[in-house]
Amino acid sequence: MTAPVVATAAVVPLVSVRGLEMAFHVDGRVVRAVAGVDLDILPGEVHALVGESGSGKTTLARCILRLIVPTAGTVEVEGRDIARLRGGELRELRRSMQLVFQDPEGSLDPRMSVRDLVAEPIRTHLRPARGGIGPAVVELLDGVGLARRHLDRRPHELSGGQCQRVAIARALALKPRLIVLDEPTSALDVSVQAQILNLLLELRARHGLTYLLISHDLGVVRHLSDRVSVMYLGRIVERAAADEVFEDARHPYTRALLASVPDAAAAGPRPTLIRGDPPSPADPPTGCAFHPRCWLRDRLPDAAICATTAPPPVDGGNRAACHFADRVAPALAEDRP
């Protein structure tokens, strides 16, 4: 991995999200899938969004890509509010932000050859001279580890890993600044997953890319990411450098999430830190949204505030949105013999 990106005032974020909310109307109720998020994605970093199903990871990413328009808040890309972009500026935004999906075969048109799949975004966005695309397509495929002999194949003639390479080549074709990777290896076997993860890191270094990674696999997140934002019920509850999140998490939810991971590197059972399902975003708990499932609250004599008052949000000076973040590590230290 390259040197970790240090968040300093001198670095201008590539993407800057402020006060973002996305509410959906479902069966007459309002569901706040994203319930107030601030997020900076720095140029050159791999920023991961982690959290359970329904925590708002994908909805947040869709707002950043302007695939959906948020109900409140702003998304700025290189200082420009993307909601105000029109015409050529909007096309330029679309070009500069690409998306790689979970299901590689499903995200490729089954009737198109690899050649056409990779050429399509170039034709659409860059309007090249006729006949001038061929070498660019071959170079892109070479860059993702595919050869000339793959040019005339269709998706069903490729393996899952090869399809994902084609999807990555399509994303790279437009020389984007940001690539959103939505569960990029969830559908792949581990041996193939390793190839794709290695490729993604190599491409990041070669092209100076920025990734927003959405993944439920915390091993993948640890391997790829520089910084991690942990989401719970539409909010970011902890944000820090990846090593800090994995080695020294400050939010009880982050600890619980990490303790749940069945790890091929660790033997034996680990302490249970979480119970039950996440609550419905249509009916979120009062105070801290995590309080009904919180193991730390159970151990504190003075935790009435958790059910009544929302903790201060994550920002530059506050790593974890928890009233008792400083009690997390001591509480777990007591468990050790």
Give the strand pairing for 210-214 and 46-50: parallel
Residue pair 303/292 in contact (Cβ under 8 Å)? The answer is no
Among 236, 200, 231, 235, CA closest to 216 = 231
Task: Print the binding letters for residues 212-251 with another protein: x by CB under 8 A, - otherwise.
Answer: ----xxxxxxxx------------------xx--x-----
By CB under 8 A, what part of segment 105-164 binds another protein?
A: 159-160
By CB under 8 A, what part of segment 44-63 binds another protein?
A: 52-53
Residue count at the site for another protein (CB under 8 A)?
45
- Told to check if 1 binds another protein by CB under 8 A, we report yes
**CB of 118 or CB of 274, closer to another protein:** 274
Question: How far from 138 is each of 57, 173, 249, 264, CA to CA, in Å?
Answer: 34, 11, 44, 38
CB of 167 to another protein, least distance (A): 18
Sign of the alpha-carbon torsion through 279, 285, 288, 293: negative
CB of 252 to another protein, least distance (A): 12
By CB under 8 A, what part of segment 275-314 binds another protein?
A: 275-278
- Told to check if 202 binds another protein by CB under 8 A, we report no
The backbone torsions φ and ψ at residue 65, rounded to the nearest 5 degrees and listed phi first, read -85, -5
Residue pair 47/229 in contact (Cβ under 8 Å)? The answer is yes
Give the strand pairing for 46-50 and 227-232: parallel
**CB of 5 or CB of 261, closer to another protein:** 261
Tell me the three state secondary structure of residue 266: coil
CB of 190 to another protein, least distance (A): 5
CB of 100 to another protein, least distance (A): 18
User: Where on the chain is the footprint of another protein (CB under 8 A)?
Assistant: 1, 52-53, 159-160, 189-195, 197-198, 216-223, 242-243, 246, 256-269, 272, 274-278
